[in-house]
């Protein structure tokens, strides 16, 4: 499954004695990659990740099947074979559909896949849902990864943090990565998000263009407790939207008021009268008192402080934004009336 790197191609091109006139169709540059799907510099960076892992006796990758952790898993499996293990932490905040995706993507990569369990709801600091929620979540999740790695005799834990992540707003989860000494191979090699997708495309991974997906607690506004009831109704509501064909969306739970966010390119379908009626009926059946459609459309960080929002991929991928929250208190907003 390993993709051909620039170093592999260089010798072959020079041995072939390619002429200047033939060069346009030949792999003469040391950075050229098979399939031309990735930029030359991306191939070098991918090889740098492989080489950086080559001295490890084994690695465990925090994994939920999103594009970042999937690429780390693929590169690690290339270099280490059976000594690379993908591990997904199952909890109340991970949608069941995402767990199934993780299983499927691990099969695509060909890597051994372990599933462990824990509960963020056991930690009162997480439940209170303040500005440090993602820090507490990622600390627990990655600590569980270390426990699994210890049980398997593996000394290195990796995550999918990429080089685009540190500059994207309030990111308390990254502090946990640093404190726990988790390795971030994509970040170390300077691989940014678009390059991650290019590498995933080279591997033929189905998640190459998958939108970022975040834990369910990111749908609950900061300051409102994370409870099993809220997580369950959000998961069921989003499952309905997914089954109806929407791909990039969130259902935010404002203490019984559902605020549906849908990406701009899909918003027209959400404005259809039949969808409005069906969404109201289905989400009301799930326990929401009010069902609304946000005309801002889908935006990350819309219920979290300073853009701190959505950390994905078992604490590996992320979907955070540097924008201020769009909604502080949905009930406190003042709107003009027809008389104004």
**Tens of pLDDT, residue by residue, the chain (340 residues):** 554 444 443 444 444 444 444 444 443 443 444 444 555 599 999 999 999 999 999 999 999 899 999 999 999 999 999 999 999 999 999 999 999 999 999 999 999 999 999 999 999 999 999 999 999 999 999 999 999 999 999 999 999 999 998 866 567 788 888 888 899 999 999 999 999 999 999 999 999 999 888 899 999 999 999 999 999 999 999 999 999 999 999 999 999 999 999 999 999 999 999 999 999 999 999 999 999 999 999 987 667 654 444 444 444 434 333 333 444 454 454 444 445 4
Residue 171: per-residue pLDDT: 72
Integer Cα distance of 247 and 75 in angstroms: 27
Sheet containing strand 249-254, edge to edge, reads 249-254, 257-262, 290-293
Q: Which residues contact 142 (CB under 8 A, 6 or more apart)?
A: 62, 157, 159, 176, 177, 180, 182, 315
Strand partners, 312: 317
How far, in Å, CA of 320 to CA of 311, rounded? 7
Angle at 165 between CA 128 and CA 245, to 5 degrees: 75
Task: Please give the Cα distance from 311 to 315 (Å, whole number).
Answer: 6
Given this model, what pLDDT does residue 319 score? Answer: 39
State the greatest distance between any 2 C-alpha atoms of the chain, in Å, as a whole number. 81
What does the alpha-carbon distance between residue 76 and residue 88 come to, in Å, rounded to a whole number?
A: 16
Give the Å distances, CA to CA, from 265 to 64, 98, 208, 270: 26, 23, 19, 10
Q: How far apart are CA 208 and CA 61, in angstroms?
A: 18
Two tokens at 310?
């959505």
Measured distance CA(260)–CA(241) in Å, rounded: 10
Q: How far apart are CA 25 and CA 93, in angstroms?
A: 50
Q: What is the model's pLDDT at position 74?
A: 98
Whether the CB-CB separation of 73 and 219 falls below 8 Å is answered with no
Report helix, strand or coil for 262: strand
Give the pLDDT of residue 214: 85
């Amino acid at each position: 499954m390993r993709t051909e790197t620039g170093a592999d191609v260089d010798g072959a091109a020079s041995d072939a004695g390619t002429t200047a006139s033939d060069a346009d169709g030949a792999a003469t540059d040391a950075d050229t990659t098979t399939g031309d799907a990735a930029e030359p510099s991306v191939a070098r960076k991918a090889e740098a990740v492989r080489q950086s892992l080559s001295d490890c006796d084994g690695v465990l990758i925090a994994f939920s099947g999103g594009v970042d952790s999937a690429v780390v898993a693929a590169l690690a499996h290339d270099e280490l074979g059976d000594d690379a293990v993908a591990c997904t932490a199952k909890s109340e905040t991970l949608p069941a559909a995402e767990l199934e995706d993780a299983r499927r993507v691990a099969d695509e990569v060909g890597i051994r896949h372990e599933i462990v369990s824990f509960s963020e709801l056991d930690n009162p600091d997480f439940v209170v849902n303040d500005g440090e929620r993602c820090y507490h979540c990622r600390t627990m999740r990655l600590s569980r990864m270390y426990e699994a790695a210890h049980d398997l005799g593996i000394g290195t834990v990796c995550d999918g943090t990429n080089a685009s992540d540190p500059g994207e707003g309030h990111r308390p989860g990254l502090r946990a990565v640093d404190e726990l000494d988790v390795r971030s191979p994509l970040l170390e090699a300077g691989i940014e998000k678009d390059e991650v997708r290019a590498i995933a495309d080279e591997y033929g991974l189905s998640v190459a263009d998958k939108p970022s997906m975040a834990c369910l607690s990111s749908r609950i506004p900061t300051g409102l407790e994370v409870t099993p009831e809220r997580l369950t109704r959000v998961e069921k509501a989003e499952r309905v939207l997914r089954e109806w064909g929407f791909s990039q969306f969130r259902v935010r739970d404002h203490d019984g008021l559902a605020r549906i966010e849908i990406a701009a390119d899909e918003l027209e379908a959400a404005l259809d009268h039949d969808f409005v009626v069906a969404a109201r009926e289905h989400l009301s059946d799930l326990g929401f008192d009010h069902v609304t459609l946000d005309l801002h459309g889908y935006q990350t960080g819309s219920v979290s402080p300073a853009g701190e929002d959505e950390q994905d991929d078992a604490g590996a991928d992320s979907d955070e934004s540097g924008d201020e929250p769009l909604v502080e208190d949905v009930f406190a907003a003042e709107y003009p009336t027809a008389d104004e």
